Amino acid sequence: MKKIKIAIFLISPGKAGVESVLSNILRYFNSEKVELFLVTNSEIATYYKGLIEPEKHLVLGKYFFKITNKYIRFLVTFLKNKLKIEKIKLNLWSKKVCDFLEANNINAVHAHLVWDYYLASIIKEKKPKIKYLNTMHGTLSLDPVDNYFPFFKRNEILKMLSNVDGYSSACIYFINLLKLWKIPVRNFSIISNGIDSNLSSKSKTNNNSEIVKICFMGGGRPHQKGGDILIYSLHLLKTQCKINNFKLLIYGNVSVHSKERELANILELNNYIEWRGFVEPPFHLKGMEESDIFVLPSRHEGVANTLMEAIGMEMPIVATKVGGTPEVINHLENGLLCFPDASDLSEKLANLIKDYNLRCKLSINNKQLKKEYYWEKICLDYEEFYEKFALK
């Protein structure tokens, strides 16, 4: 039987959520109908060593340059924007990618990040018969409340999304954003982020100890992740809820000059916080393993990988009801939902800190729920997605 051949695109500055998603797809995808290929930049190429055969992996070269000196960084950024250097590089790479697609008789490309979208859109224009599949992992500033600049101007974003043949997303939230901006959504599938079934052996047993540990993964964009909301909610826990038996574990790079640290100092909360810093995945799971509650106080969010990991670790969860989170968390069933507001968040945290039985209930329900999200099942959904749209 002739296989459908898919080239997955991922151009990225480093290992984070999307890169982990792709690792798991390559690790668990096992199909007699679909054959996967990979196109990456050199900065992340080594992440996928051993997950795909070298002859199926096209490494385009280096795309991102890290400059520590802020004055040189400003100058380089100005020149890159003025001369459109990054777009020129992607256009040059498109020829190399087209040769790779042709040499391997590849039917479709599957793009995951904004640089991939640009590249895939160019290739779609050059080779209209190639199917352009797109997974939305972020808002791309299409959400009116998200002021994040996604490396391309909005008119460029709209253009590179206009010729997509099939979308996938972990939540309907992203699909609705596309429709809000009148972007043609010809076909789409909702495919959740997955959970590693091996997490079941690492899941935390709830305890009734005096100090309740709360785990917060603060990586990514600080304003989006809502760390400042969380810090102020701790102040309200102390002053209004009269609760002191908690410890917040914060993972991720948080600058000493950050709003979060400043708030913690002003509100005299440092005795209640452990700043753990960045921890290379999967070692961050140790933080979940030793914690009693997982908190996700985001102002806007798709479906966070850390949220899925928390479900996989069978944790009681408090999360803001924004973006795709309410599509995964059912209030009072497998977590508590709140507004992105310190007062509401502190109230929900107080409920869980005080009520051990409620924590146990949410944990038990996540133990049942996580089976629906094992990567083995999610990869079957991707296989169906490829069969459905790659040859349509």
> Residue 214 in contact with residue 346, Cβ under 8 Å?
no
Please report the pLDDT score of residue 391 as a whole number.
75
Report which residue type is found at 314: E
Q: How confident is the model at residue 387 (pLDDT cuts 50, 70, 90)?
A: very high
SS3 call for 148: coil
Is the pLDDT confidence value at 228 over 90? Answer: yes
Residues 224, 299: one domain? yes
3 pLDDT exceeds 80?
yes
Clarify whether residues 228 and 157 are in a common domain: no
Is there a single domain that holds both residue 221 and residue 343? yes
- Give the Cα separation of 205 and 278 in Å (integer): 25
Q: Are residues 152 and 18 in the same domain?
A: yes
Asked if residue 333 has pLDDT above 90, the reply is yes
pLDDT value at position 14?
83
277 burial via Cβ count (<10 Å: 0-12, 13-18, 19+) = exposed
User: What proportion of the chain, given as a percentage, has pLDDT over 70?
Assistant: 92
Cα–Cα distance, 307 to 233 (Å, whole number): 20
pLDDT at 280: 83
Mean pLDDT of 94-116: 97
What integer is the mean pLDDT of 11-38? 93
On whether both 169 and 35 belong to a single domain, the answer is yes
- 272 and 180 fall within a common domain: no
273 and 145 in contact (C-beta within 8 Å)? no
Q: In what order do the strands lie in the sheet with 212-217?
A: 273-277, 246-251, 212-217, 293-296, 317-320, 336-338
Structure confidence by residue, pLDDT tens digits, 353-376: 999 999 999 999 999 999 999 999
pLDDT value at residue 264: 96
What does the pLDDT look like over 250-270, one tens digit per residue? 999 888 888 999 999 999 999
pLDDT, tens digit (0-9, with 9 covering 90-100), for 67-82: 665 555 555 555 555 5
Does 71 lie in the same domain as 92? yes
What value does the mean pLDDT take over residues 315-321?
98
Give, in order, the Cα–Cα distances in Å from 154 to each of 69, 139, 141, 148, 162: 29, 11, 8, 11, 12
Q: What is the structure's pLDDT at 293? A: 97
Token pair 């798709």 is found at 302
Backbone angles phi, psi at 58, to 5 degrees: -95, 120
Number of domains, the chain:
2
More confident residue, 187 or 220: 187
**Which is more confident, 118 or 219?**
118
Domain shared by 220 and 105, yes or no: no
Q: For the chain, what is the mean pLDDT?
A: 92
379 in the same domain as 357: no
Residue 88, pLDDT above cutoff 80:
yes
- pLDDT higher than 80, residue 201: no
Same domain, 34 and 169: yes
CA angle, 221 as apex, 330 and 16 as ends, to 5°?
80
**Residue whose C-alpha is closest to residue 27's, from 47, 52, 4, 10:** 52
Task: Compute and round to an integer the Cα radius of gyration of the chain.
Answer: 22
Taking only the tens place, the pLDDT of each residue in 294-316 is 999 999 999 999 999 999 999 99
Rounded average pLDDT over 337-342: 98
Judge if 111 and 260 occupy the same domain.
Answer: no
Would you say residue 382 has pLDDT above 80? yes
Q: Using alpha carbons only, what angle is made at residue 309 by residues 305 and 310, rounded to the nearest 5 degrees?
A: 115
In our burial notation (b when 16+ CB lie closer than 10 A, e otherwise), range 163-178 reads bbbbbbbbbebbbebb
d(CA 105, CA 292): 51
Mean pLDDT of 200-226: 77
Q: What is the pLDDT of residues 35-59, one digit of tens each?
A: 999 999 999 999 999 999 999 999 9
Is 95 found in the same domain as 39? yes
* Domain ranges, residue 277: 197-373
CATH code, domain carrying 154: 3.40.50.2000
Q: How confident is the model at residue 17 (pLDDT cuts 50, 70, 90)?
A: confident
